[in-house]
Amino acid sequence: MSEVIKIKKGVDIKLQGEAEKIFATADTPSTYALKPSDFPGIRMKLKVKEGDEVLAGDPIFFDKGRPAITFGSPVSGEIAEVVRGEKRRILEVRVLADKEIRYRDFGSADPASLKRDEVKGKIVEAGMWPLVKQRPYNIVANPDRVPRDIWVSCFDSAPLAPDADFVVHGQEAEFKTGIKALMQLTDGKVHLGLDGRTNPSEAFKVEGAVMHRFTGPHPAGNPGVQMHAVAPINKGETVWTVGLQDVIMIGRLFMSGQFQAQRSVALAGAQVSKPRYYKALIGANVKSILEGNVAAGNNRYISGNILTGNQIPSEGYLSFYDNQITVMPEGGEDQFFGWMAPNFNKFSISRALFNWMMPNKRLNLDANLNGEERAFVVTGEYEKVFPFDIYPVQLLKSIMVKDIEAMENLGIYEVAEEDMALCEVVCTSKIPVQETLREGLDLMLDELGD
């Protein structure tokens, strides 16, 4: 059994509304959407126009900078609408789905018997390459590179995140096939980051893959944190990351020859009447999942978790990489003398609020920021929740002044937005930490390339 690595810094935000480990059913959505905003660093070019017919796996758009990278349709049907914003920027490409999905056939194969270019070519051709992400920059990986390693985190420590063992149950063969495919893409190792609090599922025991077990509070489940603890990324190195359910999808491609974009999605949050799991495809309209299962009132709907997810309308679409939908109260009401109240239902890592005496209490948090942006002062709060050997405040300040050399020296190559999400939560100055880091990563990408 592999050694258990303890992540000491971080914090678990315990919320009400954890999804019960039961699959519920919902009406099949009629429309699906791909959102270019899910893919930072990509310059989109459409390959379809409204009225075109597509099969599942047909390319919807591609990256102008790297035309080989296409983004496949999760369903078959008709291109119903291209939603544009300011300066004709593409916001969504919506597909009106067929009642029965028709798949483009890419041919099944045993990835272990294929050469690297054949494995890579099949994933690219099926429009599934965006499932593979790259550090540094946390962008869609460059298929022309050979990564030092590939990392798969097999658990998620974010608030109300799906349970990995429950999700992978029944899909063990697909997961193992997906890992075998990833092994062909690197000269290094495929690392699996496992939850050290439990015995690993048999599904994760894949010959040739290296298992690591981690314990500790969030963000222990982030691949960036796990990589930092085992094999940090140095300048000039590239490591790819693939999500647990994305590995399963890649495995399905090789077993069936089809882009089957199905995910197990956790519907969670205090405003959800019956928080449970659903089977949904990438880009699904969430209306049918939410309908009749959410408390009335002013709610915030999030594709993803409360730390890194994106706000969507109640009739919006599941984002490309998300396995979770969270519904929480919007908040916004003024609290008279709020600072004097006990505030038992607010979160804080300090002992300013009395809820520190109830560490296991599950909270019903709303979306209030409880303050506004102010002077960026050093409080030491970031360092309590940021488990990297990096100075987070100094890194953010170097980004703000666009000092690329300082960014490099302070370790920007290792981090992604999700790794600093807790810094944003505890920030006394209300700095938009994730947005600032993304600006720094985009600047580095523009100046230095991938």
Q: What is the pLDDT of residue 161?
A: 97
- Say if residues 157 and 219 touch (Cβ distance below 8 Å): yes
For 315-356, how does the pLDDT look when each residue is reduced to its tens digit (9 = 90+)?
999 999 999 999 999 987 777 666 667 777 788 888 877 777
What does the DSSP 8-state code read for residue 272? B
Q: What is the pLDDT of residue 338?
A: 67
Average pLDDT of the residues in 40-48: 94
pLDDT above 90 covers a percentage of the chain that reads: 86
Fill in the amino acid letter for 324: Q
For 64-122, how does the pLDDT look when each residue is reduced to its tens digit (9 = 90+)?
999 999 999 999 999 999 999 999 999 999 999 999 999 999 999 999 999 999 999 99
Which string of b and e fits 11-23 if b means at least 16 CB within 10 Å? eebebbbbbeeee
Q: What is the pLDDT of residue 344?
A: 75
∠ CA(62), CA(63), CA(69), 5° rounding? 70
**C-alpha closest to that of 440 among 426, 410, 421:** 410
Distances (CA, A) of 110 to 12, 146, 149, 176, 251: 40, 21, 21, 11, 10
Q: What is the pLDDT of residue 258?
A: 98
Distances (CA, A) of 341 to 308, 337, 425, 428: 29, 7, 21, 19
Tokens of 251: 């495995």
Q: How many CA atoms lie within 13 A of 142 on its CB side?
A: 17
Between strands 4-6 and 90-97, the pairing is unpaired
Q: What is the pLDDT of residue 252?
A: 98
Does the predicted model carry a pTM greater than 0.75? Answer: yes
Q: What does pLDDT average to over the chain?
A: 94
Q: What is the pLDDT of residue 1?
A: 56
Kindly give the residue spans of alpha helices, DSSP state H, lying in 231-342: 244-256, 287-290
Residues 78, 30: Cα–Cα separation, whole Å:
11
For 135-175, how does the pLDDT look when each residue is reduced to its tens digit (9 = 90+)?
999 999 999 999 999 999 999 999 999 999 999 999 999 99
Evaluate if residue 201 carries a pLDDT over 70.
Answer: yes
For 385-442, how does the pLDDT look when each residue is reduced to its tens digit (9 = 90+)?
999 999 999 999 999 999 999 999 999 999 999 999 999 999 999 999 999 999 999 9
Q: What is the pLDDT of residue 345?
A: 78
Confidence of residue 46 (pLDDT cuts 50, 70, 90): very high
∠ CA(277), CA(355), CA(159), 5° rounding? 25
**C-alpha closest to that of 381 among 435, 338, 424:** 424
Fill in the amino acid letter for 271: Q
